Structure 1
Amino acid sequence: MPDLPTCFAGLILAFKPLFVHRSWRHAQILMIGAILTPGQRTVTSVLRIMGRAQDRRFVNVHRILNRAAWCPRTGGRILLGLLIAAFVPRGPVVLGIDDTIERRRGRRIAAKGIYRDPVRSSDSHFVKASGLRWMSLMLLAPIPWAGRIWALPFLTALVPSERACRERGRRHKPLLDIGRQLALQARRWLPGRDLVLVGDGGFCALNFLDAMRRGRITAVTRLRLDAALYEPAPPRPPGTIGRPRTKGARLPTLAATLAAEDTLWHRLTVPGWYGPNPCSIEVVSGTAVWRHGGLPVVPIRWVLVRDPQNRFPPQSLLCTDLACDASQILSWFVRRWSVEVTFQEARAHLGVETQRQWSDTAIARTTPCLLALFSIVTLLAARLPARQRRSFATAAWYHKPRPTFADALAAVRWATWRERTLATSPRRQPRTKPRFRLPSPWAYALCHAA
């Protein structure tokens, strides 16, 4: 194994069963080098940062991504177990699911398509982007030393475009089908835990919600204000002929409930709602049956939210667990904001969208590995002393009360560089080695580079 701090070695060795002995040596180089490398996360950059620029067998490191026999899904299961043990040892496991666009160009990239760019587009401005679409499942867990919720990716899947599937003669899987498979895979990995899945309005579909309900997963998403809601079906009298009813009387739409003057609103204070500070909002909640012709019937609890100060437009949420109250549903939903933060941090600090693979196998492996590296860095930083994490977050002109992911990455890099520098010093005779201290300019250049 490359020179690593003792506290890091046990976590890295957890991924050893994925590879055979020879491939494991090269996989360690890729993992550690991807953490230390600034800028583009190419295999050549990893080899240079690890001091292997003159290694004539460099192709063996490339083969870890484009040819070696190992299963990324099994790696996701190992990573999820480490995250659960470190951050959510008990209680419900809250998962976030969302898709993102990796902007890539090139004729050899078969799975790419033309999509709406969610970052650059707005309600009145539409921007298209050429690239790959990924669906990522993340653990939404509180990080004690960060003082906030982080979205930690552990399972990411490629969603090929319809054109790519048509050219290869394959059936195209819609976005919701892949999201359903990822969520049910996490259910199989955690059979004894309560799972809560939080998504945006794109996952507000009856087929998806019914699959989550049957899989014993509590789903929390946005809900349309004009959704057709009904009362539950009345009890069926004995001797009734015909098909059983699936719904009762039609209920007013949430838009009508919002405009009604006799609606009883309750005031709640929700931490982290559109900002770091607690926000005072008004809510009203109820249960209903959501039904549409030809689709499954899903019982839901709806929550209508409005701001007394009109800082954001009214919106509605749904939960497939009828026993949950409005405050619990809102506390789960606000964790979803950290998903977009993770995508941005992965682009800024872990080199997502800078890789240059053209092989289909390498493309399908590289981006999930880089997103999973966000979680691995968080686990490594959690094993460092608190003083070491805080030292990278402060300066004479700027004080951070809590470290961010950039500070956690810098702390992990500092610990790794310190170990590698000590390991490369000559040992001519046994004597007490003076304690090494990385100079501050070196630490800034090596550890804070994006």
Structure 2
Amino acid sequence: MIRVPRDFKPLLDDLSAAVAKPQTARRLVLFFAASVLVVGDHTVSAVLRLLSLIEPVNPSTFHRLFSHRRWNATRLAKVVACFVINRFVPHGPIKVVGDETVDGHRGKKVYGKARHRDAVRSSHSHTVFRYGHKWIVLAILVELPYATRPFALPILVALYRDKKTCAAERRRHKTAAEIMCGLLAVLMHWFPERKFIFAGDNAYGTHSMARFAAKHAERLTLVSKIVADANLFEPPPKRKAGKNGRPPVKGRSLPSPEAVAKSGKGGKKMRVRWYGGGWRNVKVFTGVGCWYKSGKGIVSIRWVYVIDLDGTHRNECFFATDPALSPEAIIEMYGGRWNIEITQAECVSRTSLYRLAA
């Protein structure tokens, strides 16, 4: 029998209760506990080799545990999310990060396989494509007292389906940002009394996702990148009494973040936390404006233009859908997004977690 730490017993008990059949629950919990202890590749076969040292196991039984799954993965995800949040983030806003990762899988009969850009192997001048699955991952940032940087713990995972697969199944195609909005909606539904701050890269810094965050402004704040020459406007003026015609949807045009930075007025030097838990000396320009898209309306944002004074990083421009958020908080929140890259690199190289979630 595997003896697990006392602190993990409530989690394993809740996981068992979330599965209908006791025998299936026992195998799932046993597999989960062994996967924590196994060294090297966290494949099903590697976990079973460890379990065979404790008790006789039938490999096909555990393989069918995933291939013929009858348990609800979303219910198990809620159990894990409750355990993580109640233990590590019991109070205050919950910081969450999102990203996408490609898991190579070239088999002819693999469901959902498509040709995706591999962000790890690609650069600004060279693009590498890979056949396989693209997973949309939502993780919670957890800060531990003995670590110099937060840890990104994956909570929800969704498979991206390309347009060809969606057309064959007669389903509406969803972008990565739309899928992420769905995952965030699930998380907000599970924890209706909590507020979330989400950080994502350019793929999630879209106007549609900014509108989604603005619609749930009391529960969700989006932090992402925005182009330095973005078109920003003042809020629409109030309509004058007795005036006919269509009311204005935006106010006067504002200088772009890049133009404000080039003017050199209003910049502030500060030291902020950067990628990987390090620190950077930067010069920051910030302002508030309305991000407008024709036919979609406006979203009030705070933008932050960052110049790296150490000379090792290019200039960056971030934004948040909460104008009250400070520039330091926006920069550090986006810098914390890097931790999900580390998590996904370890998952892809060491485990078949995402494939099992399919």
TM-score w.r.t. the length of structure 1 is 0.74
Larger Rg: 1
Q: Could you tell me how far apart the structure 2 residues matched to 1:98 and 1:56 are?
A: 36
Q: Could you tell me how far apart the structure 1 residues matched to 2:294 and 2:343 are?
A: 38
Q: Could you tell me how far apart the structure 1 residues matched to 2:7 and 2:309 are?
A: 50
| Displacement of 1:53 | 10
Q: Could you tell me how far apart the structure 2 residues matched to 1:346 and 1:57 are?
A: 26
| Distance 1:133-1:220 versus aligned 2 partners, 3 A rule | same
Structure 1: 5+ residue stretches without partners: 356-362, 369-450
Instruction: Give 1:330-349 correspondences, 5 Å limit.
Output: 330-348=331-349
Once the two structures are superposed, what CA deviation does each residue of 1:127-181 show, in whole Å capped at 9, x if it has no partner?
1111100011111121123232111111111112222223333332221110110
Match of 1:444 in 2: none
Q: 2:256 aligns with which of 253, 257, 261?
A: 253
Match of 2:238 in 1: 235
Match of 1:16 in 2: 16
- Please give the root-mean-square deviation of Cα atoms over the aligned residues, in Å: 2.2
| Distance 1:196-1:276 versus aligned 2 partners, 3 A rule | closer
Instruction: Give 1:261-272 correspondences, 5 Å limit.
Output: 261=264, 263-271=265-273
CA contact under 8 A between 1:29 and 1:46: conserved in structure 2? no
Match of 1:161 in 2: 162
Match of 1:313 in 2: 314
Tell me if 1:219 matches 2:210: no
Tell me if 1:178 matches 2:179: yes
Instruction: Give 1:256-335 correspondences, 5 Å limit.
Output: 256-261=259-264, 263-271=265-273, 273-274=274-275, 276-335=277-336
Q: 1:249 corresponds to which letter in structure 2?
A: R
Aligned residues: 355
Higher relative contact order (CA 8 A, sep 6+): 1
Q: Secondary structure at the match of 2:193?
A: coil
CA contact under 8 A between 1:102 and 1:352: conserved in structure 2? no
| Distance 1:5-1:205 versus aligned 2 partners, 3 A rule | closer
Q: Could you tell me how far apart the structure 2 residues matched to 1:184 and 1:276 are?
A: 29
Q: 1:244 aligns with which of 243, 247, 258?
A: 247
Q: 1:108 corresponds to which letter in structure 2?
A: K
| Distance 1:66-1:96 versus aligned 2 partners, 3 A rule | same
Q: Could you tell me how far apart the structure 1 residues matched to 2:286 and 2:83 are?
A: 37
| Distance 1:258-1:70 versus aligned 2 partners, 3 A rule | same
Once the two structures are superposed, what CA deviation does each residue of 1:17-39 show, in whole Å capped at 9, x if it has no partner?
22121211111232123223334
Instruction: Give 1:1-400 correspondences, 5 Å limit.
Output: 2-19=2-19, 20-51=21-52, 57-216=58-217, 217-261=220-264, 263-271=265-273, 273-274=274-275, 276-348=277-349, 350-352=350-352, 363=355, 366-367=356-357
| Distance 1:53-1:169 versus aligned 2 partners, 3 A rule | farther
| Distance 1:309-1:33 versus aligned 2 partners, 3 A rule | closer
Match of 1:378 in 2: none
CA contact under 8 A between 1:228 and 1:292: conserved in structure 2? no
| Displacement of 1:56 | 7.4
By percentage of residues, which structure has more strand? 2
| Percent identity (aligned) | 29
Q: Secondary structure at the match of 1:148?
A: coil
Q: 1:322 corresponds to which letter in structure 2?
A: P
Match of 1:426 in 2: none
CA contact under 8 A between 1:207 and 1:296: conserved in structure 2? no
TM-score w.r.t. the length of structure 2 is 0.92
CA contact under 8 A between 2:261 and 2:267: conserved in structure 1? no
Once the two structures are superposed, what CA deviation does each residue of 1:59-110 show, in whole Å capped at 9, x if it has no partner?
3322221223211111111111111122111111111011111111201112
CA contact under 8 A between 2:43 and 2:352: conserved in structure 1? no
Q: 1:193 corresponds to which letter in structure 2?
A: R
Q: Could you tell me how far apart the structure 2 residues matched to 1:4 and 1:327 are?
A: 40
Q: 1:75 corresponds to which letter in structure 2?
A: L
Q: 1:142 corresponds to which letter in structure 2?
A: E
